[in-house]
Chain A
Amino acid sequence: MRVPFRAAARKRMAVWVRRRQGVDTLPVMLARRRLYILPTRAGLTFGSLWILMLLAALNYGNSLALFFTFLLAGFALVAMNDCHRNLLGITLASVSAPAVFARSAGALALTLENPAARARPGVEAALDEAPLTGVDLAPHGRGRLELPLLPARRGIVRIDRVRLTSSHPFGLFRTWTWVHLPIEVLVYPHPHGSLPRPITSGRHPGESSRDGSGLDEWMGLKLFRDGDSPRQVDWKAYAREAPLMVKEYSPAGADLCLFDFAQLRIPGVEERLSQLARWVVDAEAGGERYGLALPGVELAPNRGPEHRHHCLAALALYGIEAPAASAAQPAAAAPLHA
């Protein structure tokens, strides 16, 4: 009886707060208007004890007891003010939501900035009613909070709001705010399955490369990026005023695999996706080139983190309407801006 009522009240509260505050855009400064504060359970106990002390002191007209009762009242009021001030002015600078595998632990990372010259100890955050994670912010300092995520199913987890809170300094009050950001976390299928990887084409391992340089089949040109070897730059093209390009080769001895959804002999869509995800992860770890074929989606054989993400994202979103942003770019450490 009690739990549904609380849940309903919480939901209504969430709707009201959402309407009141609107959707936030990063960076979010925690202003006075959006900070809420209430006594904690310890604070309520302290309050009732205080009332008893006041009644006793008044009853006996005992000056010293009254004085210390009033001192404790002032103490609680200052504590309330301090608690509120502990969050006030903090800036939520960025939120990063890297893609995560289903049924494994991921994290939503928040970066907080303290613009003030005083420290902010015990700043905490949580996704709704999850346990709190805390950080201490130094004066003018930054802090990073990782909120644990444990998604059960592949797809997209939408996080409506993040709760930032603090009960510093005495735990008598808790101040909090909700930040409403349209955060979407892409959840890859749980990589699982024991079938061997199919080898569709490519050479057998052990065959030596043509020139013994370790570089092999010419794959094409791609734009130069920091870290690319100057030896691979297409200097001739550059001399013709073309942009700086890099010649790509497939590594020696690499296998070429195509993982085809249609050819899997496993009942159940989720199981098949899990198996495919397993292969993608393993193939990437093994430095192989691999492609993916899903009904309606075909990804040509390639390798690298970007390719891996595209493959896993395709698996994650199979049968689900594709979101605007997350799948298009590698979400690894990409800050989400609303």
Chain B
Amino acid sequence: MPERQDNPALLWATAAFTGGLALHVDRLPAWVSAAAIVLIAWRLAAARARAPLPGMIARVVLAGVLVIAVLARFRTLNGLAAGTALLVLMASLKLLETYRRRDRLVLIGAGLFLLLAACLDRQSLPRAPLYAGETWLACAALAVVASDRLPGRAALALAGRTLLLALPLAVLLFLFFPRLAGSFWAVPRGEEAETGLSETMSPGSIGKLSTSYDVAFRARFEDALPPNDERYWRGPVLHEFDGFTWRRGTGGGRAPETLLSTGRAYRYHVALEPSHLRWWFALDTPAQSPDPNVTLTRDHELYAARPVSDPTSFEALSFTGAREDQPLSRWERFEDTYLPRAGNPRSLALARELRARAGSDGAFVAAALEFLRTGGFVYSLEPEVLGAEQVDDFLFRTRTGFCGHYASAFVVLMRAAGVPARVVTGYLGGEWNPSGGYLVVRQSDAHAWVELWLEGRGWTRVDPTAVVAPERLERGAYDLLPDAMSASTRLLRGAPWLVHLLQRWDAAYAWWNERVVKFDSVAQMGLLERLGVRSPDAWALGWAFVLALLAWLALVAWHMGGAARPPRSDPLARAYARLCRKLARTGPERAPHQGPLAYGEALRAAGNPAYAAGASTLLERYAHLRYGAPEPATRARDIETFSRAVARFSLPR
């Protein structure tokens, strides 16, 4: 049977589902969202009798086509992204056969499942209100589906009130519900690289370096901050060059050896934003791997077993002046001095000439840097695209580029003269956030520099960009080249108060990631410890959980108790009952049908001495207070006086 027109229950259930869909619309393939929206529109049009609904066969065929389409796109139905797409499409199809109350509940359930999927996908602070909104919408839809007559505003108020009462329980359970340390099963999650560093670098082919203002990670130092020119955060280290692109190379070789520390040690905490890459970024030279699932490579990169798809944080120890004491192996020396045989003849000639003039490798490096400083080079985020002989083109023609160009060209010069050299990519810098007390490193701080192997000194960092644009050490690429900023970023950086506000926001964001998103079983134990539990374990957590639950139940019962409790007997009735009890001790009991005056008559008839002793007056006063028209203003006081008179009243002996 078709739905009546504009059935509010159908509209609300559809809204709850659409709300769930909206949480995913920027992640789903466009055709999935489009298909879902078309199906929703179809159903709503049918509800207004503007379009017929498809029959059974059409629905089955449509379902089959959509499942195959999802399979074709994701190659699987398993996994968060594919599962979400499938859920969206199947629930939209379900909408076409939504007639009864049960079907509408299914739609609301789909909305809640989409909410769950959205939580699994992203947990950042700005998304939390969206999720709360969807929860609210789904609960209001439940109320409307339960009772069609309920107006929408009343449904929202009802659901809002219920959720507010539920909020304390949610917080308590969040804190004390025992968490799992591991997981039962793992579903692969959609991993798509976003912005940031890639594992290759092709500076010559990039016409405009697209750097975003997004946060890459935040670092909180235990003691002093490293100075500006020491804030090199190591990412992928690149060895292989084919004339156009730098790659990591085959890797292999040995595990890192003991470090000879010559510089300062820094202990710090890094909170990585999801990058969907496997790199963890640490300051310069990390001493050891911070996590069993992360490998410390021979190049001192931190390489994780799984991509960073959730906010991740770790504690690290780094040395800014540490050097290895092992000599370079023959293979390493070969790899890091290799250049493609053909190409860039002028650069190679220049390198050989400079090396011949210089007496040592150290002098040669200084000479090469001097060449960059005095050669009229310009730092730019929008350089010309380079020709086939990339390094020659850059060094002798365009002389304009960003860190990638300088690092690439410098390594080529070094290798041409037989000095082992490699490109290190990562980030340089970090903005101090006074609100949060940490350094913020953004995608726009991405940088590339060079490491050289110098006899007796080991791998030594040289930053050719710093020679061309020394300010880059002090400030981010954006501040250096304001034109490269997008209009919105420029606006955001423009006003000091806005910068301050943004820092506040960033601090809240970081707090959320650290304290809320990453709240786990370890953090739970820490919380218990702070609450005074000596050596917290699962049992203590269980007790805390039970206590929290009871506390909430008491709260709700107290809040709701008022209306549910039967009215307490009023003071007048209590006083009257007391008087009757007193009189019944010597005289006849008041019969249920007797009013106060009739009872007085009965006492008189029985010759009860109490009658004369004041009982008659009290009974009359009661009758007046109860049935007469007493002054409203003085009634409370009169009742009080009457109660006291009853209390004083004693039977004559």
List chain A residues, Cβ under 8 A from B128: 64
Residue B162 contacts which of A60, A78, A167 (CB distance < 8 angstroms)? A78
| A152 at interface, CB cutoff 8 A | no
In the assembly, what is the distance between CA of A204 and CA of B14, in Å? Answer: 73
Chain B residues, CB < 8 A from A88: 564
Cβ-defined contact, B560 with A62, below 8 A: no
Cβ-neighbour of A168 out of B101, B105, B147 (below 8 A): B147
Cα-based distance from A77 to B142 in the complex (angstroms): 15
Tell me the minimal C-beta distance from A25 to chain B in angstroms. Answer: 14
CB-based closest 4 A-B pairs: A74-B166, A171-B146, A74-B169, A65-B119
CA distance A66 to B556 in the complex (A): 21
Chain B residues positioned under 8 Å from A62 (CB to CB): 119-120, 123
Q: List 21 A-B contacts (CB under 8 A).
A: A42-B101, A45-B105, A46-B105, A63-B517, A64-B517, A65-B116, A67-B170, A67-B174, A68-B116, A71-B163, A73-B166, A74-B165, A74-B168, A74-B552, A77-B166, A78-B162, A78-B556, A85-B564, A121-B150, A170-B142, A171-B142
Q: A45-B105, A56-B120 are in contact. Are A169 and B183 (CB under 8 A)?
A: no
A237 interface hit (Cβ, 8 Å): no
Q: How far is the CA of A256 from the CA of B153 in the complex (A)?
A: 65
A70 CB, min distance to chain B CBs, angstroms: 4
| B184 contacts the other chain (CB 8 A) | yes
Chain A residues, CB < 8 A from B163: 71, 74-75
B interface footprint on A302-329 (CB within 8 Å = 1, 0 otherwise): 0000000000000000000000000000
Does A55 contact B184, Cβ atoms closer than 8 Å? yes
The chain A residue with its CB closest to the CB of B565 is A89
B563 neighbours in A (Cβ, 8 Å): 85, 89, 116-118
Q: Are the C-beta atoms of A71 and B105 separated by less than 8 Å?
A: no
Known: A45-B105, A63-B123. A75 touches B183 (CB 8 A): no
Instruction: State whether A68 touches B131 (Cβ < 8 A).
Output: yes
Interface contacts (Cβ under 8 Å), in number, total 147
Chain A 31-53: CB-based contact to B (< 8 A → 1; otherwise 0):
01000000001100110010001
A190: shortest Cβ distance to chain B, in Å? 33
Given A57-B116, A70-B173, is A170 in contact with B167 using a C-beta cutoff of 8 Å?
no
A49/B113 in contact, CB under 8 A: yes
Q: Determine whether the beta carbon of B166 is less than 8 Å from that of A78.
A: yes
A42, A56, A60 interface centre (most CB from chain B within 10 Å): A60
Chain B residues whose C-beta falls within 8 Å of the C-beta of A77 in the assembled complex: 166, 169, 556
Q: Which residues of A contact B105 (CB under 8 A)?
A: 42, 45-46
Q: Within residues 18 to 66 of chain B, which ones have a CB less than 8 A from any CB in chain A?
A: none
Bound-state CA distance A72–B101 (Å) is 20
Which residues from 159 to 206 on chain B have a C-beta closer than 8 Å to any C-beta of chain A? Answer: 162-163, 165-170, 173-174, 177, 179-180, 183-185
Considering only CB atoms, which chain A residue lies closest to B168 in the complex?
A74
Least CB distance from B23 to A in Å reads 12
B173 touching A73, Cβ below 8 Å: yes
Decide if A115 touches B116 in the complex (CB within 8 Å).
Answer: no
Interface: B145 (CB within 8 A): yes
With a cutoff of 8 Å between Cβ atoms, the chain B residues found around residue A121 in the complex are: 147, 150
A169–B161 Cα gap in the complex (Å)? 12
Known contacts A78-B556, A89-B566, A169-B146: A63-B518 contact under CB 8 Å: yes
Chain B contacts for A168, CB-based, 8 A:
146-147
B282 within 8 A of A: no
The answer to whether A205 has its CB under 8 Å from any CB of chain B is no
The answer to whether A66 touches B174 (Cβ under 8 A) is yes
Contact mask for chain A residues 13-44; partner B; CB cutoff 8 A; 1 contact, 0 none: 00000000000000001001000000001100
B119 in contact with A57 (CB, 8 Å)? yes
A45, A74, A79, A168: residue with the most chain B Cβ atoms closer than 10 Å: A74
**Which of chain A's residues have a CB closer than 8 A to the CB of B603?**
none
Q: Are A61 and B520 in contact (CB under 8 A)?
A: yes
Q: Decide yes or no whether B109 CB sits under 8 A from chain A.
A: yes
Q: Is the CB of A169 within 8 A of B162?
A: yes
Assess the B567–A115 pair: CB atoms within 8 A: yes
Asked whether B158 is an interface residue with its Cβ less than 8 Å from the other chain, the reply is yes
Give the distance to chain B from A113, nearest Cβ to Cβ, in Å.
Answer: 13
A117 closest partner in B (C-beta): B563
- A interface size (C-beta, 8 A): 49
| Chain A minimum-CB-distance residue to B184 | A59
Residue of B nearest to A170 (CB): B142
Main secondary structure of the interface of B (DSSP, over half): helix
The residue in chain A whose Cβ has the minimal distance to the Cβ of B567 is A115
**B396 cross-chain contacts in A, Cβ below 8 A:** none
Q: How far is the CA of A171 from the CA of B567 in the complex (A)?
A: 29
Q: Is B289 an interface residue (CB 8 A)?
A: no
Q: Is B368 an interface residue, CB under 8 A from the partner?
A: no
* Interface set of B (CB-CB < 8 Å, partner A): 101-102, 105, 109, 112-113, 115-116, 119-120, 123, 127-128, 131-132, 135, 139, 142-143, 145-147, 150, 158, 162-163, 165-170, 173-174, 177, 179-180, 183-185, 516-521, 552, 556-557, 560, 563-564, 566-567
**Which A216-244 residues have a C-beta within 8 angstroms of B?**
none
With an 8 A cutoff between CB atoms, is A81 at the interface?
A: yes
B-side contacts of A70, CB under 8 Å = 169-170, 173-174, 177
A332 at interface by CB-CB < 8 Å: no
- Interface flag for A82 (CB, 8 Å): yes
User: How far is the CB of A165 from the nearest CB of chain B, in Å?
Assistant: 13
Counting CB contacts under 8 A, is A148 at the interface? no
- Interface SS of A by simple majority: helix
Most chain A beta-carbon neighbours within 10 Å: one of B101, B112, B131, B145: B112
Give the docked Cα–Cα distance between A89 and B560 (Å).
13
Least CB separation from B521: chain A residue: A61
- Are the CB atoms of B115 and A68 closer together than 8 Å? yes
- Looking at the assembled complex, report how far the CB atom of B115 sits from the nearest CB atom of chain A, in whole angstroms: 6
Interface core residue of A45, A65, A81, A170 (most chain B CB under 10 Å): A170
Residues of B within 8 A of A141 (CB): none
Q: Is the beta-carbon distance between A49 and B119 smaller than 8 angstroms?
A: no
Q: Which residue of chain B has its CB nearest to the CB of A55?
A: B184
- Chain B residue numbers with a CB within 8 Å of A60 are 120, 183
Given contacts A64-B131, A75-B139, contact A56 B109 (CB under 8 A): no
Cβ contacts under 8 Å, A72 to chain B: 112, 135, 166
Distance in Å: Cβ of A191 to nearest Cβ of chain B: 37
Known: A49-B113, A79-B162. A170 touches B566 (CB 8 A): no
Cα–Cα, bound, A66→B180 (Å): 12
Q: In the complex, A167→B150 CA distance in Å?
A: 13
- List the A side residues contacting B127 at CB < 8 Å: 64
Can you add 14 more A-B contacts, CB < 8 Å, to A63-B519, A70-B177?
A42-B105, A59-B180, A61-B180, A61-B521, A62-B119, A68-B116, A71-B170, A74-B163, A74-B165, A74-B166, A78-B556, A115-B567, A167-B146, A169-B143
Tell me the bound Cα distance from A78 to B159 in angstroms: 10
CA distance A55 to B109 in the complex (A): 16
Determine the residue in chain B with the shortest Cβ distance to A32: B564
Are the CB atoms of A71 and B146 closer together than 8 Å? no
A176 to chain B, nearest CB (A): 16
Docked pose: A70 CA to B116 CA in angstroms: 12
In angstroms, Cα B145 to Cα A168, docked, is 11
> Given the complex of chains A and B, what is the CA–CA distance between A273 and B115 in angstroms?
67
A322 to chain B, nearest CB (A): 31
Query: Given the complex of chains A and B, what is the CA–CA distance between A52 and B116 in angstroms?
Result: 10
Any B CB within 8 A of the CB of A330 = no
CA distance A282 to B31 in the complex (A): 73
A82–B162 contact, CB under 8 A? Answer: yes
A81 touches B123 (CB 8 A): no
Residues 280 to 311 of chain A near chain B (Cβ within 8 Å): none
C-alpha gap A72/B111 in the complex (Å): 13
Given A53-B112, A75-B162, answer yes or no on A64-B119 (Cβ-Cβ < 8 Å). yes
A150: B residues at CB distance < 8 A: none
A29, A81, A171: the one within 8 Å of B145 (CB):
A171
Q: Is the CB of B143 within 8 A of A170?
A: yes
Which residue of B is nearest A121, CB measured?
B147
The answer, yes or no, to whether A122 is at the interface (CB within 8 Å) is yes
The digit string for A96-116, where 1 denotes a CB below 8 A from any CB of B, is 000000000000000000011
Q: How far is the CA of A72 from the CA of B146 in the complex (A)?
A: 17
